[in-house]
Structure 1
Amino acid sequence: MPSSKQVGQESAANKKIGGVPTIHYFDFQSRGRGQVVRLLWEDAGIAYTDVRYSFDEYPQYKKSKIEDMNPTATIPVVELNGKILTQSYAILRHFARQLGAYDGETEDEKYWADAMCDIVLDWRTLFIQAFFSPDKDKTYPAHEKGDRANFLKAMQQHLTSSDLSNSGPFIIGKKITYADLVLYQICHDENLTQNGRAGLKDYPRLAKLIDAVEGRDNIKKFLQSDRYLG
């Protein structure tokens, strides 16, 4: 049976989004596309119901439950007030708009957050292919030296060459966006945020963003809680 846990207490942020959402996702440490949705909710102080599926039990529920909610039978899936929300980055943008935060204010800020998010989407696709390959012992080391290194260089260059990014620690400056959480999550999943940021020593601007995300009060509390699974 999947586990279900109520996280947090209803807050003003819950009122803004219209209730307490339920997320369906894997019980896979604190990683993946579904985890970044949780991360936004944690940062915003949103209470939510966390339903987690083990990899072994997921195929059964994929056919009997998830497919009924989402025709593509993929997770995360979010339920809220009878609505079904799918596609993790669309979910993030949706809640950002409802909260009136995490999305930038000007069109330039919104564009830059969206553009950086899309770059991470390309990065994550290649990461997943390499990490879950039957030949992971070969494909993932090749990914680390190839695609991952290229994306790290690109992110470092983008963050240092943009006037918006240069005005603060985050992608659009002093205000965090959903895209910062997306970028943080891929770095976390690639084990770049751990071990004293050793994997980011050549990318100081990116490390600065990671530090700023982890330094936020609610995220810091989350990382120190039993909800954070490494």
Structure 2
Amino acid sequence: MPHTLSYGTESAANKAIGGVPTIHYFDFQSRGRGQVVRLMLIDSGAAYEDVRYTFDEWPEQKRSGPVAEMNPTGNIPVLEMPNGKILTQSYAILRHWSRQLGAYDGKTEDEKYWADAICDIVVDWRTLFIAAFFSDNQKEDYPKHQQGDRNRYINAIETHLKGSDLSRRGPYIIGKEVTYADLVLFQVLHDENMIQGERADLKQYPRLIQLVDAVLARPNIKKFFDSSAYLG
């Protein structure tokens, strides 16, 4: 059976988004598309309930469990809100909460566009990463991905951030203000094991290191990474 965890204390951020959400996601350490949803909640100071499914029990849950009823595609994360609203699609959830919180997606149309554009690049990258990482032939396919598609996307994002007038204003994608896209980019770098340890695979990418450092220095995120709630 899935197990449930609780994080944080109900706050003004919870009031803005409609209460304390319940997140249905894999029991997959602190990784994946579900984790970036948690990161926004953590950074904003919001509390949440976390229902975690093991990979072994997920197929049955997907066929006949509560997620199958809440989301016709059977994909997770799925979020239940106290008012009965069901939220699906992780990046749509992030943009939805950004509007409700009045933060995380920029103030001008140029800032909003740039955050969306970088997020879309990361979505394409994550799709290829997941295909390689969970491949039946992972021992061959994932190293190929690391040397091929991963390097291509990292180089592209580094170039974009260095070349953008917005990105040059500060450590984040649009400069001085964090956006949902910074959390999305941070999470894929985390899931590709590029921010842990000595960051050997990021040494050629100073602009990405600047962004990672800025995210990790955010008080609520730093507190989370330093706590037992961070599962690696």
Scaled by the length of structure 2, what TM-score is found? Answer: 0.98
Q: CA deviation at 1:122?
A: 0.2
Partner of residue 17, structure 1: 17
Q: CA deviation at 1:142?
A: 0.5
Q: CA deviation at 1:17?
A: 1.1
The 5-angstrom pairing of residues 34-53 of structure 1 reads: 34-53=34-53
Task: Supply the distance in 2 between the matched residues of 1:154 and 1:193 (Cα, whole angstroms).
Answer: 18
Q: Which of structure 1's runs of 4+ aligned residues deviate more than 4 A?
A: none
SS at match of 1:6: strand
Q: Which amino acid aligns with 1:52?
A: R
Q: CA deviation at 1:128?
A: 0.5
User: Share of identical aligned residues, percent?
Assistant: 67
Partner of residue 85, structure 1: 87
1:119 is aligned to 2:127: no
Partner of residue 59, structure 1: 59
Task: Supply the distance in 1 between the matched residues of 2:191 and 2:184 (Cα, whole angstroms).
Answer: 11
Q: CA deviation at 1:195?
A: 1.6
Q: CA deviation at 1:114?
A: 0.3
Q: Which amino acid aligns with 1:106?
A: T
Q: Please, which of 75, 94, 97 is the counterpart of residue 96 of structure 2? A: 94
Task: Supply the distance in 2 between the matched residues of 1:179 and 1:134 (Cα, whole angstroms).
Answer: 30
Q: What count of residue pairs does the alignment treat as equivalent? A: 230
Q: CA deviation at 1:5?
A: 1.7
Partner of residue 71, structure 1: 72
Q: CA deviation at 1:185?
A: 0.3
Partner of residue 143, structure 1: 145
Give unmatched runs, 5+ long, in structure 1.
none
Task: Supply the distance in 1 between the matched residues of 2:17 and 2:209 (Cα, whole angstroms).
Answer: 32
SS at match of 1:85: strand
1:207 is aligned to 2:209: yes
**C-alpha root-mean-square deviation of aligned residues, in Å?**
0.6
SS at match of 2:198: helix
